[in-house]
Amino acid sequence: MTANEAKETQMAETKTMDRLASIAAGEIVETRIHPELAEEESILDISDFNLWYGEKQALFDVSMTLPRGKVTALIGPSGCGKSTLLRSVNRMNDLIDTVRIDGSMNLGEGNIYGPGVDVIELRRRMGMVFQKSNPFPMSIFDNVTYPLQINGERNKSVLRDVCEKALRGAALWDEVSDRLQESALGMSGGQQQRLCIARAIAAEPEVLLMDEPCSALDPIATTRVEELILSLRGEYTVLIVTHNMQQASRVSDYTAFMYLGQVLEYGPTARMFTNPLLQETEDYITGRFG
């Protein structure tokens, strides 16, 4: 490295540090959106979305579109609001009394936060996998078919087919096919997480929201889940939060980089990982901060 190059890097770093500091101080920056996204058909339109937990603001003017049938990854340092954004999509934040929002999210034509929206109906159109697995205190079979059962589906053969399909999708079928009637709480942690994935895809949702689905899984199960996500591409729209950069690059078509409640950059994963528009994105992806 020549002295000149070294000096350039250093200068760039100082510049980044300055920008990060000013964001931390409250500056709202424009999201850098790559032009490729304009060509995609969008399924979810988020515009100027703000969210407060009580007095504390967690999301700042988030504007982005989710391309239909594509996998989008949300990356960013811990506490930057990835889960918050994900939970806003199916209005899980409604369950927290202190949450206040501003701005809009449109799923297809309708505003998710519009007046008179049937939240239950909305959530039925989405599947969600949580950061921590949360199987219900019932049999494996009932867990997987829960979204259909609460929707009034009683036909045993339909439920059985759905159960098998979902469990196969979550790479769990071979392990549990002979004990579907046993309690789900007796499974191992990784199995429980895959069960939750099976539950989320059982009702064939339009949008699948995944919050670090692989954080409790071993490498083999992780590979299986990644294969699952890849196989869902095209049919489903997936929004996935991950801390694992390799995973993001393996499974996602698009990646959004979040920092302190703002989306700084959003573009095709390949571009984001090799040639991002922002120095901050590169620094985060290469592990220089975060």
Partner 1 sequence: MSRIRANTATALLARGEPMVWLSGGGLVVALLMVAGLVGFVFWQGLTTFWPGPVLQIQTRDGNVVLGEVTRQESFRPEPGMAELQEKSAARALKEELAGGAGRLERRLIRTGNYELTGEHFQWVEQFRIPMGGQTTPPWALVLERTAWGRFYGELVAYVVDDSILSTDSESAWALFRKNHDGAEDPLPEGHALRLRISTGVTHDVPLQDIVRAYAPNQLGLGGKIGVYFGRWFEFLTAEPREANSEGGVWPALFGTVIMTLGMTILVVPFGVMAALYLREYAQGGLMISMVRIAINNLAGVPSIVFGVFGLGFFSYIIGGSIDAIFFADKLPNPTFGTGGIMWASLTLALMTLPVVIVTTEEALAAVPNSMREGSYACGASKWQTIWRVVLPRSLPGIMTGAILAMARGAGEVAPLMLVGAVKLAPELPVDGVFPFVHPERSFMHLGFHIFDLGFQSQNSEAAKPMVFTTTMLLMGIILFLNGAAIYFRSHLTRKFTGSKF
186 lines the binding site for partner 1 (CB under 8 A): yes
Span near partner 1 by CB under 8 A; candidates 62-70, 73-81, 184-192, 274-282 = 184-192
Among candidate residues 229, 52, 248, 227, the one with its CA nearest the CA of residue 127: 229
Residues 69-128 that bind ligand ATP (CB under 6 A): 78-84, 96
Residues 134-163 that bind partner 1 (CB under 8 A): 134-138, 146-147, 150-151
Using CA atoms, how far apart are residues 184 and 88, in angstroms rounded to an integer? 28
DSSP 233: B
Using CA atoms, how far apart are residues 252 and 217, in angstroms rounded to an integer? 19
Query: Is the Cβ–Cβ distance between 95 and 253 less than 8 Å?
Result: no
Residues 62-121 that bind Mg ion (CB under 5 A): 83
How far apart are CB 239 and Mg ion at their closest, in Å? Answer: 13
Residue 4, classed as helix, strand or coil, is helix
Query: Is the Cβ–Cβ distance between 244 and 76 less than 8 Å?
Result: no
249 lines the binding site for Mg ion (CB under 5 A): no
Position 117: which residue type?
A: V
Query: Is the Cβ–Cβ distance between 210 and 244 less than 8 Å?
Result: no
Binding map of ligand ATP across residues 28-57, x = CB under 6 A, - = no contact: -------------------------x--x-
Cα of first residue to Cα of last residue in the chain, in angstroms, is 25
> Which of ligand ATP, Mg ion, partner 1, none lies near 78, with the C-beta cut-off 5 to 8 A by kind?
ligand ATP
208 phi and psi, to 5 degrees?
-110, 120
| Residue environment code for 105-121, b if the CB has 16+ CB neighbours within 10 A, otherwise e | bbbeeeebbeeeeeeee
Binding map of ligand ATP across residues 9-28, x = CB under 6 A, - = no contact: --------------------
120 lines the binding site for partner 1 (CB under 8 A): yes
- Cβ nearer to partner 1, comparing 122 with 245: 122
105 phi and psi, to 5 degrees?
-135, 125
How far apart are CB 244 and ligand ATP at their closest, in Å? Answer: 11
- Cβ nearer to partner 1, comparing 211 with 283: 211
Residues that bind partner 1 (CB under 8 A): 90, 92, 95, 97, 120-121, 123-124, 126-128, 130, 132, 134-138, 146-147, 150-151, 182-188, 196, 199-200, 203
Residues that bind ligand ATP (CB under 6 A): 53, 56, 58, 78-84, 96
